[in-house]
Structure 1
Amino acid sequence: MEPNSAATQDLPSPPPPLSGARWRLFRARAIQAVLLFCLWLVLSGMFDALHLAYGAFSVALVLLLNHRLHLVPLQPGETPTEHPILLHRLFAYLLWLLWQIVQSGLYVAYIVLHPRMPIDPRIVYFRSLQPNVQARVILGNSITLTPGTITIEIEGDRFMVHALNEQVARGLVTGDMEYRVARLYLKECRSADACFDVQITKEG
């Protein structure tokens, strides 16, 4: 019995189970890998072993670079955090953003075609407590993609945005877009943290 006991003691202990955060991160990476590989198959149209190997290598390289980009601080001294994106909310956000782009595009067209062309530029400053660097980049790009607004600068949680007029500026700081972006990464967040310390000034 003693040899068996010794052999039992020599057996390696099983690895600890993944925590909730690590499991969500692993699942997000796995879904990204599958989607990227499917995209590779669609674009390449080749299913032989060599091209499949190229595809697998390309996906692994993209995931590695993407992971490293997630860890790059937006400013010196910032500690990046890893929050996997909630994919079901991402699809809903993209549809919502597309609708905002259409609405804003129609409004900008109205402003440009109006006989008096009521353009009165504003510079908007606000703070938004986004969960990570990726969320701030998504927010900044979403603002720029929406006609009538352009993100000029992001410094930490502070945003500087150019708006076409007062109405566009006021619409930007309702906190709706900022809250939706934060919800891409957080299951729960306070709307009061999405947009605060707002200042709107006339350009020039």
Structure 2
Amino acid sequence: MSPTDAPASWLATLLPATVVLDAAPPEFAEPFPFDLDRWPVILADCILSDGRHMVLGDDGGPHHVWQRHVSRSRSLAYIIVRDDAIETRRRAAQRLDRRLGGAAPSQRVGAFRPTPFQRRRLNLLLDILDLTQTPDERPTSYEIARRLIYRNATIGRGQEWKSSTERRRTLRLIGQARRLMTGDYRSLLRGVVKG
């Protein structure tokens, strides 16, 4: 299945800010008016074999929703899995519930928001990956340092470069960028920045 048909961000196991909805037990009262079709901005909407997946636009950040049971005749319940991301899951459900209740958008709860420093560092790691993944050329650590990390600084060459703190930092950043690509990105989806 293509990423357009089933984006990885809809996998609630990988993105705990995804709000999971399912049918409430039949003993519960009349269905609460819960019409997601009337949401002002629907960024993505897809019905798959496991239910309906939506990304709802909001001033406070998007809401990722997985509605496992699509019948309108039953009340819906939030499913909050008890795992290491329970607080993120709880905050995401609370944030959506507040908006459905008419509250103003909130950026305090819900999705992960990196600090300006974290955002710059993550952008640097992505730039390093872009440069190292270019099929035409494989830049050396010195070229990566000169082009991306120490753009406006003078860094030594030869033996001076090999024993420098700049080289050690560059190699650490290259390693961190590769780890981010091969799996650490999942911790970002959980709201945890490593390094």
How does the TM-score come out when normalised to structure 2?
Answer: 0.21
Q: Higher Cα Rg: structure 1 or 2?
A: 1
Query: Which is richer in helix?
Result: 1
How does the TM-score come out when normalised to structure 1?
Answer: 0.20
